[in-house]
């Protein structure tokens, strides 16, 4: 590799220190701020030109440069130039390098360009067409995504109001094959859904997705370590690809999609300027028609259409789509309450009771709710939109609560009926007096279990006495049995005399 050409002022200084001061190459290099290789090359060129320090000191900079760097002798034979459009297109194929393409070229043209000249000519061709050498797009490697600066719109059919919407654009690097659609917003849900539809449109998955550092996909913008939004990471994992955010203020990182956006604005949005759409669906139907035309147009530089290049380059290199499409989900941090439930939109979902007071992460989709603790899934539920209600999995409950949950009002009433009608009537009364039947479960269980200690016959008598007395609790029934009151004859209920007082409202007050 040749050393870079120095300014003649620095060249003279190097030769002065070498020939006049007789300093070492290392010392001259440190003083002149160049490498030792440059010092050696400069002295070699001067000796090859048969120069002395006296000659160098008298020559002008132009004359010295002409002596040290004489122009190459012109070639007497015109060499066959490669088809640079073909070279550029072939270079996008996996594993194809400039070195391989040069070998194939030399096989057909043995007296053709040498490898260094081949590379220089290709660089000059690419530069003349605005193609940056750093951006070599391999087939199936990258999908660039962004939103257009110009926004399409729909019209409210009732009010006539103009509603601006967004235009999502995705472009494959190798073929320029383009996808576009209109969405309501740039928010995460629309952003992720557009990716899902774009991958379905392509029929495969690229090795990487390159977005701009949008808040919808990048939670923390940074040149070196941008933080990818959690749901965006999940989408990449689901499709077996990766997210490579473009660096801030580096448009060349995503030049492909920026050009794609310009093309979409010119060949899609510009053609929609005089058309009116009342729904997003109608707008997207028209965009799909124009998109088909865009991908079928022949590109001047490549002499092929986007569709042809896609079929030839990108499509064979894409990974297959998974069996199911990605389902968008939102993440939320929550703390497990003392009743081992977490709250989401006013509904409560159970988590394992051992996680009481622990912080967990809740992932919700339109159909499911999943609970994670330190990256491990600990619970899953069907999504419910009933506010104030609970969804509980029995396995999440403590053992005592699981046994309690097995009881229902009908089961308790059936058990009471096997003891007697008075017991059944009391159990029904206890359940009816509670705001929630569950509040009476413990009391009912206590009453029913008294039959084991005192016998079913005595419990039946005790329940009868409790009903007459207006008692509706376990403690009353237990007290009756404990003191043997169930064995005493039951006196008829005494009629309570009416109380007449100015502060007593009387029954008519409630009519």
Give every CB contact of residue 185 below 8 A, 6+ residues apart in sequence.
166
pLDDT at 291: 92
| Nearest partner of 379 among 405, 340, 345, judged by Cα | 340
**pLDDT tens digits, one per residue of 139-168:** 888 898 888 888 899 998 888 899 999 999
- The answer to which of 152-156, 262-266, 434-438 has the lowest mean pLDDT is 434-438
Query: Angle of helix 8-15 relative to helix 25-32, nearest 10 degrees?
Result: 150
pTM for this predicted structure: 0.51
DSSP 236-294: HHHHT-EE-PPPTT-GGGGHHHHHHHHHHIIIIIGGGTT---SSHHHHHHHHHHHHHHH
Instruction: Say whether pLDDT at 496 is over 50.
Output: no
**pLDDT tens digits, one per residue of 371-413:** 998 888 999 999 888 888 888 888 887 776 555 555 678 888 8
- State how far Cα 150 lies from the chain centre: 25
- Pick 503 or 457 by higher pLDDT: 457
Mean pLDDT of 58-85: 77
- Pick 205 or 139 by higher pLDDT: 205
- The answer to which of 78-87, 133-142, 180-189, 327-336 has the lowest mean pLDDT is 133-142
Q: What percent of the chain has pLDDT over 70?
A: 84
pLDDT at 1: 45
**Structure tokens that stand for 244 in this block:** 């490579």
């Amino acid at each position: 590799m040749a050393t870079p050409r120095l300014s003649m002022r620095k060249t003279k200084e190097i030769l002065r220190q070498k020939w006049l001061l007789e300093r070492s190459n290392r010392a001259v290099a440190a003083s002149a701020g160049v490498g030792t290789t440059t010092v050696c090359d400069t002295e070699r060129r001067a000796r090859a030109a048969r120069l002395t320090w006296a000659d160098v000191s008298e020559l002008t900079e132009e004359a010295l440069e002409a002596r040290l760097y004489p122009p190459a002798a012109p070639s007497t034979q015109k060499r066959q130039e490669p088809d640079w459009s073909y070279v550029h297109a072939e270079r996008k194929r996996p594993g194809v390098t400039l070195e391989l393409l040069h070998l194939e070229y030399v096989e057909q043209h043995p007296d053709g360009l040498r490898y260094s000249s081949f590379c220089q000519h290709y660089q000059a061709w690419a530069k003349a067409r605005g193609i940056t050498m750093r951006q070599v797009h391999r087939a199936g490697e990258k999908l660039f995504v962004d939103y257009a600066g110009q926004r399409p719109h729909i019209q409210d059919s009732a009010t006539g109001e103009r509603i601006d919407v967004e235009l999502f654009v995705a472009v494959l690097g190798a073929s320029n094959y383009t996808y576009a659609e209109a969405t309501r917003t740039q928010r995460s849900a629309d952003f992720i859904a557009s990716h899902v539809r774009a991958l379905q449109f392509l029929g495969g998955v690229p090795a990487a997705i390159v977005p701009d550092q949008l808040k919808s996909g990048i939670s923390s913008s940074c040149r070196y370590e941008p933080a990818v939004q959690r749901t965006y990471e999940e989408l990449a994992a689901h499709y077996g690809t990766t997210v490579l955010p473009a660096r801030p203020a580096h448009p060349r990182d995503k030049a492909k999609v920026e050009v794609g956006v310009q093309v979409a604005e010119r060949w899609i949005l510009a053609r929609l300027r005089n058309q009116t759409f009342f729904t997003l669906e109608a707008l997207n139907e028209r965009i799909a028609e124009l998109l088909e035309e865009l991908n079928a147009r022949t590109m001047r530089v490549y002499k092929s259409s986007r569709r042809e290049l896609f079929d030839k380059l990108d499509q064979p290199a894409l990974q297959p789509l998974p069996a199911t499409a990605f389902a968008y989900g939102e993440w939320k941090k929550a703390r497990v309450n003392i009743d081992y439930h977490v709250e989401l939109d006013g509904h409560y979902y159970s988590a394992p009771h051992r996680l009481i007071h622990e912080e967990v992460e809740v992932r919700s989709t339109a159909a499911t709710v999943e609970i994670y603790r330190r990256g491990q899934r600990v619970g899953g539920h069907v999504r419910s939109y009933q506010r104030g209600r609970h969804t509980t999995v029995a396995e999440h409950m403590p053992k005592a609560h699981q046994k309690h949950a097995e009881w229902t009002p009908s089961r308790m009433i059936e058990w009471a009926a096997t003891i007697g009608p008075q017991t059944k009537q009391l159990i029904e009364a206890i359940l009816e007096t509670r705001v929630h039947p569950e509040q009476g479960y413990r009391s009912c269980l206590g009453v029913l279990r008294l039959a084991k200690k005192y016998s079913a016959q005595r419990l039946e008598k005790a329940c009868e006495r409790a009903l007459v007395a207006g008692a509706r609790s376990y403690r009353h029934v237990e007290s009756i049995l404990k003191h043997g009151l169930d064995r005493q004859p039951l006196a008829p209920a005494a009629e309570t005399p009416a109380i007449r007082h100015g502060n007593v409202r009387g029954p008519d007050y409630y009519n």
